[in-house]
Structure 1
Amino acid sequence: MFATTHRVTLEDGRRVVVKAAPDETDRLLSYEHDVLRTEALVYGLADGRPELLMPTLLLADFSRTVLPGDAVVVSHLDGVPLNEAGFEAGDPRLMRVETELGAHLARQGSVTGPLFGYPSNPGLQAGTWPEAFGRIIEALLADGRRWGTALPDDEIRAAVARHAGALAEVTTPRLVHTDLWPGNLFVDPSSGALVGVIDPERAIWGDPLFDLVGADAMWHGTSAHLLAGYAAEAGAPWAVDEPAAATRLLLYRVQLALVMLVEITPRAYEGDWLVEYVHQLRAILDRALAGLA
């Protein structure tokens, strides 16, 4: 629904993955411009750090001469996407994946950056997290107006402004994937071991708590196994229930709900599922705003 991806077998038998960004940039949201450059950046940061479980970047082409848009070539990962592994709730293999994802988030958070915000989008960067997050929200509200998505702009702005203090507690820009849904997690289907993490194109420098929202887009609840895995790797519990942290999680719920609502029109989503999907996203947005009130 965004990039075009091919699995390619080279003449010497190696398998690689070729990913090309869309060339129809008029239908991108503000934050999506040049995101494949962010993907290349993150893979570069993970080079030499196998514990981050990311593919090796083999080639990055941003010339837009070979293909109409940016392209990257990366090593092919073992395993299968978690959403294709067939694990059911209560399966010990799923519990293992969740635990190892928590440990992965602790390791990922050790990677720090120079500024808050989207690495490839200077307009959505700032020296502080409240300022960067405010710019990210304003860009989404502008995208919503552009695509005719009805949003409670004033209520959202007021919530972000009211809780700037909670955002200000984040003082170090840390690597946040933001899109750790099951399709971006590769697992060993026999054991449940987490063997790969892909698609960091939407990564930001920000608050690691953000990834708890990206990994639970429809707000079913953060896995206790994930939190246990984080605590074991970090050497301390993740203080997700502290007031400022809980407030930030609600703000990130608002941000992700905005992304998912606004992108519907430019992506031209259609089908019988869409009515219920929009209803769920509206409910998430309302619930988060109510909590912030």
Structure 2
Amino acid sequence: MTAPGYGRDAPLSADELAAAVAAVRPDWRLVDAGPMPDGSDIVYGVAVREGDGATREAVLKCFRPGKSPTHTPERFLVEVDLLGIVGRETDLPVPSLYGVRESHESAPTPAFLMEYLAGESPPPVTDPAPDGSGEERAADRLLRESGRHLARVHGLRTFASFGELVADPDRRTTGEGKVPAAEPVVRDGHDTWSGRLGALIAFSLDGLGDTRFSDLESGLREYAEERLATLDLAAEAALLHGDYRPGNLLADPETGAVTAVLDWGAAQAGDPRYELAWAVREFSGRAPLGSPVGERVRDALFDAYEDERGRSFDRGSGEFEERQRFYRAVTWITELRWFDYWWGGADESVREERAARLRENAAELR
């Protein structure tokens, strides 16, 4: 069960891990644990002994305080609610929940235990066209399944406002091991999608002052304000996964079949077309706009998405293209704000190459 180092550290001691498992499931005892690679909360793969003496592999996820200004226990616990909803109402492969504990006098909480699912994080697509090889067939299947998954997620819930989703504190329980069937709510919602996007952009740009990208702030702010004022951004406040990308999936490396959709803690109520723009960016390995790789990924994702939902976007219109280009620009602006956090652990050459590419992206918007 011992795994490579989790993120930049493995913050829980053996005693803390044992206490967290016992707080969530008093009938389980920790046998072994290893920090899981990647992620921003505290995540361990654990082996536990159940009350009848049987052993089980599971995943323990604990709240990491101070991760970001908006990361609160309610934000962390929305993943519990969404795993329950998606597991009950769809056939998407998500982990079953074994228990949750919102608070405890001594153990690290909030925390929850969930099913361990097999698979590997798939790589992004790098070739502009499939060559018929097994690897390329797997990539196409991954893209098709992802498009269908996103369509199902976006059809699950709509909300009265736009913004981050959190667990409703009025509907939660603190019972030992109980997993409440609760609905997420929007925190500090905006009446319009343009208002939500404007707030996201302002937060990101306001944070550039002390970074290497401070010189880009005024130009990007002017660009964003013009687009917010002129583009048609009317949208439905649909449930978005919030971070649907290869790094948050597990798949069969031979076939491309998705075996797990993970990390629902970034969920929000927003425009599905924004999440699709994010997915195209991530599944294409952040390939440039209009690149052959990017077009392959976009066509595959959108085709599967539209087939699943039974309705089509007006992909050929200039209005659609301008909106998707703006959504892609918002992802760049967000990345500028969080650059040191997202890329702080990467090799310097990789970090500098990405910083240079982001500058090129910003220049393309002028």
TM-score per shorter chain, which class? Answer: 0.7 to 0.9
Shift of 1:97: 1.0
By how many angstroms is 1:33 displaced? 4.6
Rg comparison, structure with higher value: 2
Is residue 140 from structure 1 mapped to residue 204 from structure 2 by the alignment? Answer: yes
Q: Secondary structure at the match of 2:94?
A: coil
2:250 matched to 1:186?
yes
The structure 1 residue matched to 2:86, chosen from 42, 46, 51, is 46
- What letter matches 2:300 in structure 1? H
Matched residue pairs, number?
284
Distance 1:33 1:146 in 2: 25
Residues 22 and 69 in structure 1, CA contact (< 8 A), matched pair in contact too? no
Letter in 2 for 1:118: E
Match of 1:102 in 2: 147
1:199 aligns with 263
Q: Using the alignment, how far apart are the partners of 1:69 and 1:260 within structure 2?
A: 29
CA shift for structure 1 position 127: 1.7
Do the aligned residues in 1 keep the contact of 2:121 with 2:249 (CA within 8 Å)?
Answer: yes
Name which of 239, 246, 252 aligns with 2:327: 252
Q: 2:41 aligns to what?
A: 3
Q: TM-score, normalised by structure 2?
A: 0.68
Please identify, of 173-182 and 210-219, the stretch whose mean Cα deviation from structure 2 is larger: 210-219
User: Deviation digits for residues 105-143 of structure 1, max 9, x if unmatched?
Assistant: 1111102233211113734x2121111111111111223
Q: 1:158 aligns with which of 198, 204, 222?
A: 222
Which secondary structure state, in structure 2, belongs to the residue aligned with residue 114 of structure 1?
Answer: coil
Q: Which amino acid aligns with 2:165?
A: P
1:70-125 deviations in Å (ceiling 9; x for gaps): 433222223222139xx9973111111111111111111102233211113734x2
Please, which of 2, 21, 24 is the counterpart of residue 63 of structure 2?
A: 21
Alignment check: 8 A CA contact 1:51 1:107 kept: no
* C-alpha spacing 1:251/1:141, structure 2 compared with 1 (3 Å): same
Match of 1:262 among 322, 337, 353: 337
Task: Mark the CA change 1:40 to 1:181 in structure 2 (over 3 Å): closer, same or farther.
Answer: same
Answering whether residue 100 of structure 2 is matched by residue 60 of structure 1, we say: yes
Structure 2 unaligned residues grouped into runs of 5+:
1-6, 8-39, 131-135, 167-185, 289-293
Find the aligned partners of 1:88 and 1:167 in 2 and give their Cα distance. 31
Mapped to 2, the partners of 1:67 and 1:88 lie a distance apart of 49
TM, length-normalised to structure 1: 0.83
Percent identity between the two aligned chains: 22
Q: What amino acid sits opposite 1:115 in the alignment?
A: S
Decide which of 300, 303, 306 is 1:228's aligned counterpart: 303
Query: Aligned partners of 1:51 and 1:16: how far apart in 2?
Result: 21
Whether the 8 Å contact between 1:81 and 1:185 is mirrored in structure 2 is: yes
Match of 1:274 in 2: 351
The 1:160–1:88 alpha-carbon spacing in structure 2 relative to 1, beyond 3 Å, is: closer
Whether the aligned pair in 1 keeps the contact of 2:201 and 2:334 (CA below 8 Å) is no
* 1:3 to partner: Cα distance: 1.8
What is the deviation of 1:275? 0.9
Q: Please tell me whether residue 286 in structure 1 is matched to residue 363 in structure 2.
A: yes
Are 1:238 and 2:284 an aligned pair? no
Name the structure with the higher helix share: 1
Cα distance in 2, alignment partners of residues 177 and 225 from structure 1: 19
Contact 2:220/2:362 (<8 A) preserved: no
Which AA in structure 2 matches 1:119?
Answer: L
Distance 2:263 2:355 in 1: 24
